Amino acid sequence: MESETSTGPNARGWFGEFGGRFAPETLMAPVEELEAAYLVARNDPAFQAELARLLKDFAGRPTSLFHAQRLTARLGGAQIYLKREDLLHTGAHKINNCLGQGLLAQRMGKTRLVAETGAGQHGVATATVAALLGMECVVYMGEDDMARQAPNVFRMRLLGTKVVSVSSGTKTLKDAINEGMRDWVTNVHNTHYLMGSALGPHPYPMMVRDFHRIIGQEARRQSLENVGKLPDMLVACVGGGSNSIGLFYDFIPDAGVKMVGVEAGGRGPELGSHAARFSGGKPGVLHGSYTYVLQTEDGLIANTHSVSAGLDYPAVGPEHAELHRQGRVEYTNVSDKEALEAASLLAHIEGIIPALESSHAIAEVIKRAPSMPRESFIIVNLSGRGDKDLGIFQSAGIL
């Protein structure tokens, strides 16, 4: 599984100007142990065969590439295709990475998984893999996120996982990551920290990307088989950036394929009202890597807001920061209101209820498709389904 392009990473974990390994001394040894184990497993046919088996028979890959004909007709312009990661077991792309890291942790002799979660989908996927592999599991989740994603909290507990409420700070994903890392430091002898996005100290951004590459590999093959050419545009939401880098990565060398990452515009451009790192952030270090971070003038980590818990995070994966610097990917943002309206439209017109995270990508496609030629086509990553967001839809007046 090749993992090098113009973005990297190099041997020290740098994607051009971003990335690295910024970790406390107590975590350096386990992070280095993880890197060594992953580099061996990545090239081990037996490991890859077992992962491929589980992705197919347990998770439900390959996912379909669906031509959204009614949405296309409504908007005019480009043909719109949905990469249906929402059809995977547990309801989102997160299971790809969790199966990979779970097998790796088992290979390393770990018996316990610790994870963070915002929208709850990574937590559910981690809990699912822990049950499958017979491992103990603890998931840290911000108090506010637990309230707005209550169905996923119940699912994790039903799967046998302990869900720990985090009431510090903003009570969201950033604070859940803090608590998860504290747990890992304390219990590193038997515990693997299962990072849910393409974040953190090296090797996590590389490893998470590699486990999600299957999204783009399938999309590439399906494009050629179903449409007869590569897509003109890829669109995906960007929180930490796992679903988007999974879709984008294998298309990076294809100059004719435009790529658009969509961040959370929230309530508006004021700091604290959104989670648009490339619009309002600047380079800094958070949770182990040097990347774009939303921060105050004094350098403190800023509060964030998004109607979608999975995009409500002040930093972005370092590979995305480098793709932004290179200009290879265009990063934009859409508001809470636009995302909610996009979810409603897709549900009404295609019979698919998207997660609010994915709805940000749908909203961007709604803006762009009408001005594109009819013979062009867009792939939008439908990274998760919206069951978990029904309460938010209802409170927003969508239901």
Among 183, 204, 225, residue at a domain's last position: 204
9 in any annotated domain: no
Q: Residue ranges of the chain with pLDDT lower than 50?
A: 1-5
Instruction: Please identify, among 185, 204, 223, the residue that sits at the C-terminal boundary of a domain.
Output: 204
Q: Are residues 144 and 228 in the same domain?
A: no
Q: Is residue 250 part of a domain?
A: yes
Is 94 part of the annotated catalytic residue set? yes
- Clarify whether residues 301 and 235 are in a common domain: yes
Q: Which H/E stretch holds residue 292?
A: strand 289-293
Cα–Cα distance, 239 to 53 (Å, whole number): 29
**Does residue 301 share a domain with residue 187?**
no
Residue 249 bridge partners (DSSP): none
Residues 314 and 370 reside in one and the same domain: yes
With CA atoms as reference, report the closest residue to 49 among 103, 128, 106: 103
Q: Are residues 385 and 299 in the same domain?
A: yes
In angstroms, the CA 129 to CA 102 distance is: 6
Domain check: are 258 and 280 in the same one?
Answer: yes
- What was the pLDDT predicted at 2? 37
| 308 contacts 148 by C-beta, under 8 angstroms | no
- pLDDT score of 398: 75
Number of H helices, E strands in the chain: 15, 14
Tally of domains within the chain? 2
Same domain for 218 and 153, yes or no, is no
Does one domain contain both 75 and 185?
no
Q: Select from 59, 41, 180 the least CA-distant residue to 125.
A: 59
The residue behind tokens 């002799």 is 109
Q: Does some domain include residue 8? A: no
- Both tokens of 359, joined, read 């709805």
User: Based on the domain organization, do 319 and 378 belong to the same domain?
Assistant: yes
* Contacts of residue 161, Cβ cutoff 8 Å, sequence gap at least 6: 123, 126, 127, 130, 131, 137, 138, 139
**Domain boundary residue among 173, 204, 235?**
204
Asked if 98 and 246 sit in the same domain, the reply is no
- Verify that 77 and 104 share a domain, yes or no: no
Q: How many CB atoms lie within 10 A of CB 20?
A: 21
383 among known catalytic residues: yes
> Residue holding tokens 């997660």?
355
Q: pTM for the full model?
A: 0.96
Select which of 85, 116, 179, 364 is catalytic.
116
Active-site choice (289, 308, 335, 383): 383
Residue 399: the pLDDT is: 65
CATH code of the domain containing 226: 3.40.50.1100
* Number of neighbours of residue 249 by Cβ within 10 angstroms: 23
Residue 129 within a domain: yes
The verdict on residue 6 lying in a domain is no
**361 belongs to a structural domain:** yes
pLDDT of residue 1: 36
Task: Please check whether residues 366 and 295 belong to one and the same domain.
Answer: yes
Q: For position 397, what pLDDT does the model report?
A: 82
83, 85, 94, 263: the active-site residue? 94
| Residue 189, domain extent | 14-56+94-204
* pLDDT, tens digit, 9 for 90 and up, residues 161-220: 999 999 988 888 788 888 999 999 999 999 999 999 999 999 999 999 999 999 999 999
Q: Is residue 3 part of a domain?
A: no
By three-state DSSP, how is residue 284 classified? strand
pLDDT for 3 equals 39
Does the residue 181 lie in any domain?
A: yes
* 116: annotated active-site residue: yes
